[in-house]
Chain A
């Protein structure tokens, strides 16, 4: 799509000095909407930009730099208070990362990638296979375990209670002085009350059985998602006490713009991005890269 590809050049041509003209607003609006940023967040971004441009006369290049800054600020906001620059499990203590999300988002694949990374970085790692529902879900996560050289705790019975698997996995992790336990959960749509209750129960068991562990609760969002992503983040946040987001499938042409609204409205930082189906295709999140990609069509 040509219009998208040259968005920055087009913007330079139509962003005049001072407040944005109608054509420039339309152009920025189109770029953001087409990236799934959503109507509300788009309105916010444009009004922030207008505010700045009304306050001072700026060259087009600077206006674009402002726009990028607004976007990056939105994304970096949740991390403003923390002093750590990188996101990693603590050594020599039990970290439990609960991986959640709707069906097919990329949870299991992300676990495979993280376990590989953790293993390579010298962590003692373990995977809990708590998707006891979907056909061949346990077999799938076991393949990832083999690939990364990480053991998988599962229950061979059919339709067993996922909370029981989590319980067993924590017990195993504690017995082996595991540093990172990754918990794979079944995909669930956020409007299914019973499934969300099941997730809350899993979270409670983790809190209770491992009170000293450092717990991260990550929501996996598919970059192809539209505005439902925001709803997902709201409801999963309640059920699983989310602490962050993983954005997958960014190797496609979808921009994952809904993540902006998720970060802004729920204050959840994006921790990793998935950019492929391979074991190495996981990267730490960078607001700079994300914003450049968002606006580059």
Chain B
């Protein structure tokens, strides 16, 4: 099931071969294969539908380049469209003129928020931006310990008020502490929550209202399936996100969630997590992600050379 799209498309290509234009009639099999590949890569069904009709429109009548088989060119059209949807280039983290820049982390349980909080701080420290981490997860056992341990590893201070305090108050005082101490960026870790949990979503909305963050980052596990679209929609509607971090990309998931997240929220994916260690954070590159979702690579270089 992890076959490269280029292999999967083989039979569909037979119809395209020997023709000099991509037309509505000769493209249907190929589109069906792309649909299958995207679904197998966990792109949300609705997102797949929209994407396929966009590709169909773009591919119609595209002239086939000399030296390139129509099938290869079709893959390139699909790939380019994917890159475009995922946001052509990398968008860095906000930095405000008046310090501190405030970053709020949000997401479902276990996606990697606490780890990403520490990773982001290390990344910023390397850019000479000082950080303060704020521990507002008073629910998960030892969540504060976890952030404190990570803070020690990277030598970044952590603000906490224990697990009996109100998360909104912890966030408020944490940001206040950052301001008085002249910290460049305050990153607020939050407890994992389901998007249908009204109390917990209400709490997150109050944190946001109180601290007025410059960035609200949705942390999404790259292994997420169809649910990626639902959760992104609800977090975006109820909280409002400015970007996303896609975690656990060091695994072998195809990462179709990336497409869903971007398509549904319109917000850029800013970073990817590629390991458990605090150094394992990279900027997001849409073209790499597109190749990964399609399970390809070699075909593209072929087309690029032609």
Contacts and interface: CB of A to CB of B under 8 A. Distances in A.
B141 A105 contact: no
A294 to B, nearest CB: 12
B126 interface: no
A253 B109 contact: no
B40 A136 contact: no
A191 B230 contact: no
B111 interface: yes
A249 B40 contact: no
A169 to B, nearest CB: 19
B21 interface: no
Given A139-B142, A277-B109, A225 B223 contact: yes
B173 interface: no
Given A40-B1, A136-B145, A140-B146, A102 B196 contact: no
A189 B251 contact: yes
Interface string A137-177: 10110111000000000000000000000000000000000
Nearest to A133: B276
Interface in A245-296: 249, 251-254, 257-258, 277
A103 B230 contact: no
Interface residues of B, number: 46
B87 interface: no
A200 interface: no
Interface string A170-190: 000000000000000001011
Interface in B83-103: none
B248 A102 contact: yes
A103 B248 contact: yes
B276 A224 contact: no
Contact of A277 (B140, B146, B251): B140
In this complex, the member of A1, A137, A277 whose beta carbon has the largest number of chain B beta carbons within 10 angstroms is: A277
Interface stretch (B52-60, B67-75, B203-211, B252-260): B252-260
Interface in B138-186: 139-143, 145-150, 153
Contacts of B148: 136
Contacts of B248: 102-104, 189
B221 A224 contact: yes
B20 interface: no
Contacts of A253: 194-196, 227, 230
Given A33-B39, A189-B250, A227-B42, A254 B146 contact: no
Interface of A: 1, 30, 33-36, 38-40, 102-106, 112, 133-137, 139-140, 142-144, 187, 189-192, 222, 224-231, 249, 251-254, 257-258, 277
Given A102-B223, A135-B149, A224-B221, 8 more contacts: A102-B248, A103-B110, A104-B109, A106-B109, A135-B147, A224-B227, A226-B256, A231-B253
